[in-house]
Amino acid sequence: MADTDPGEEFRRLFERTGRSLLAQAYLLTGDRQESQDLVQDAFLRAWRNWARVSTLENQQAWLRRVLYNLAVNRWRNIGLRRSRDSRLSRLDGASPGPGVGHLDVMSALRSLPENQRKSLVLVTIIGLSPAEAARDMGANEDTVRVWVSRARARMKLLLGLDAMSSASGANDDRR
Task: For the chain, list the strands marked E by DSSP.
Answer: none
State the average pLDDT for the chain. Answer: 78
- Mean of pLDDT values over 81-92: 49
Percent of the chain with pLDDT over 70: 73
Q: Are 72 and 51 in contact (CB under 8 A)?
A: no
Percent of the chain with pLDDT over 90: 33
Taking each helix axis as running N to C, give the angle between helix 130-137 and helix 141-159, from 0 to 180 degrees, rounded to the nearest 10.
100
Which CATH number applies to 1-97?
1.10.1740
Q: Where are the domains of the chain?
A: 1-97, 98-175
Query: Per-residue pLDDT for 163 more than 50?
Result: yes
C-alpha to C-alpha distance for 39 and 97, rounded to whole angstroms: 20
For residues 33, 156, 114 and 125, what is the CA-based torsion angle, rounded to 10 degrees? Answer: -50
**CATH code matching the domain that covers 98-175, chosen among 2.40.128.50, 1.10.3720.10, 3.40.30.10, 1.10.10.10:** 1.10.10.10
pLDDT grade for 136, boundaries at 50, 70 and 90: confident
pLDDT at 63 over 60: yes
Question: Is a pLDDT exceeding 90 seen at residue 84?
Answer: no
